[in-house]
């Protein structure tokens, strides 16, 4: 993905509110399926990782991107932006 497209997606993501919270149960099948539906509808989504997951946010974000076949755009604090 080129830098211009990446920059545009990051700037669009600023306006978004997180659609899913990933909590102490981690990446459940239900959370992944719901996220897939949201990605299909919106293409660009923001996910909030709660501290109770007990995992590194970047690792969890990459697992989430792999599970949903999306591109990891950004990890900022405990918020993840994904795009398809």
Which tens digits make up the pLDDT trace of 9-32? 999 999 999 999 998 888 899 999
| Number of separate domains in the chain | 1
Are 47 and 79 a contacting pair, CB within 8 Å? yes
The residue segments making up the domain with residue 11 are: 3-83
24 token code pair? 């102490």
Q: Can you tell me the mean pLDDT for 37-65?
A: 92
68 confidence band (pLDDT: 50, 70, 90): very high
Question: Any idea what the CATH number is for the domain that residue 36 is in?
Answer: 3.30.110.60
- pTM for this entry: 0.92
Other CB atoms within 10 A of residue 62 CB: 14
37 confidence band (pLDDT: 50, 70, 90): very high
């Amino acid at each position: 993905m080129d830098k211009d497209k990446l920059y545009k997606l990051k700037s669009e993501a600023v306006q978004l509110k997180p659609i899913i919270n990933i909590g102490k149960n981690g990446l459940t099948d239900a959370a992944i399926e719901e996220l897939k539906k949201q990605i299909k509808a919106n293409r660009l989504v923001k996910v909030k990782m709660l501290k109770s997951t007990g995992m590194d946010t970047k690792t969890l974000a990459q697992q989430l991107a792999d599970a949903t076949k999306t591109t990891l755009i950004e990890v900022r604090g405990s918020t993840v932006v994904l795009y398809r």
